[in-house]
Chain A
Amino acid sequence: MSPRVRTVVLFAGLAGLAALYLCALHGLPGFGHYRGPYGDVINAAGVAERHVTDMVTAVNFDYRALDTLGEEFILFVSAAGVAVVLRRGREERERETAGGGEEDADEARGRRPPRTSDAVRMVSLLMVAPVVLLGIYIAAHGQLSPGGGFQGGVILATALLLVYLAGSYRRMRRIGPVTLVELAEALGAGGFVLVGLAGVLSGAAFLADVLPLGTTGTLLSGGTITLISALIGLEVGASVVLIATEFLEQALEIRGAERHR
């Protein structure tokens, strides 16, 4: 298909899309006039039923927890998928030099990557501890205020990437060895299913909230919501670290004898 034909097809398609979109908007309530009912039902019942104050967390880890389980496994499979796609090829080998020397690690010919400046190293180092604290705080307070395992997990993964920025790739691998990260990922994913099965074992439905609900507004309120949020934090943080590690490995570690045909 020539670029010209492609553009014509594109604009014909977009025109059709615009027409359908306008039709669809016609049937929607106006902006700012949400009619419910699902959101209103959850807002009205959530606090009393689940003893949590953040309704988005209640939806994610309780009312719609089964969907979140699927979502978590999408992340799990994607991390595994990236690892499979980026596995070391037959003609590739790992860089031999042990330790240090990563400034020269870029493979592109005729280009030397600039050294990481001392300012970047310093700021990254200073930020590691506050970022870890922020990640744990966000992951632990999802039941009370906006946040939860997904957000906290990503922030925690950032802390490990800051270690890479401040020090080196090898230091990052030492602090978060792949086996340990994979273990955390498996624990997060498996733990979610076990929490769900605990509901079944107690005679209720899968993922039923079986733990004591606690006092609304305290850190340990919400029963399984808080537990699942913590497990998700583990799983998300580990998955993001694994994916980042795979890409960093491609850039810094793996060397192809003859990459380009």
Chain B
Amino acid sequence: MSLAYAVAAWLLIAGIYGIVTSRHLVHLIVCLVVVQSSTYVLLLAIGYRTGAVPPVFVSVPPTTPAVDPVVQAMTLTDVVVEATATAMLLAFALQAHKRFGTLDPRELRSMRE
């Protein structure tokens, strides 16, 4: 197992741990961002090829061995989705704070009853 795959797993696990044990909604959302960063590492690692050039053929001919551009494009999609999800969640956190006066997820649950 290579380091990149291990890093992806570590980011995923650290992020999930953070979400489950979080005491603050903004902290929780940042943990979700950490979880999502693991997918960037995994995607880019899958398309990586040792000794290859980036898939940009400005100064090298198109026949040069290059890394996979498809997973890089998917990573770009991933980043955009993450940004939009984070914006939505932060908006919800803001409204939750307005309504309940707290950002602690455990206290939010008790407010529901």
Bound CA span A245–B63, Å: 46
Q: How far is the CB of A162 from chain B (nearest CB, A)?
A: 19
- On whether A74 and B47 interact (CB within 8 A), knowing A14-B16, A55-B57, A85-B95, the answer reads no
| Contact call B66/A43, Cβ cutoff below 8 A | yes
Q: Which of B28-65 contact A (CB under 8 A)?
A: 45-50, 52, 54-58, 62-63
User: A33 an interface residue at 8 Å Cβ cutoff?
Assistant: yes
| Contact call A55/B69, Cβ cutoff below 8 A | yes
Residues of chain B within 8 A of A85, CB atoms compared:
88, 91-92, 94-95
| B interface, size bucket | 35 or more
- On whether A31 and B5 interact (CB within 8 A), knowing A78-B87, A85-B88, the answer reads yes
Q: Which of A33-79 contact B (CB under 8 A)?
A: 33-34, 36, 38-40, 42-44, 46-48, 53-56, 58-60, 64, 67-68, 71, 74-75, 78-79
- On whether A43 and B69 interact (CB within 8 A), knowing A82-B88, A260-B101, A261-B99, the answer reads yes
Bound CA span A148–B74, Å: 14
| Contact call B54/A146, Cβ cutoff below 8 A | yes
Residues of chain B within 8 A of A200, CB atoms compared:
none
Q: How far is the CB of A60 from chain B (nearest CB, A)?
A: 5
User: A18 an interface residue at 8 Å Cβ cutoff?
Assistant: yes
User: A164 an interface residue at 8 Å Cβ cutoff?
Assistant: no
23 contacts between A and B (CB under 8 A): A18-B9, A21-B9, A28-B5, A30-B2, A33-B50, A34-B49, A34-B67, A39-B67, A39-B70, A39-B71, A43-B66, A46-B62, A56-B55, A59-B72, A60-B76, A68-B77, A71-B81, A74-B80, A74-B84, A75-B80, A79-B87, A81-B91, A145-B58
User: Which 6 pairs show the lowest CB-CB distances between chains A and B?
Assistant: A39-B68, A31-B2, A32-B50, A78-B84, A260-B101, A55-B69
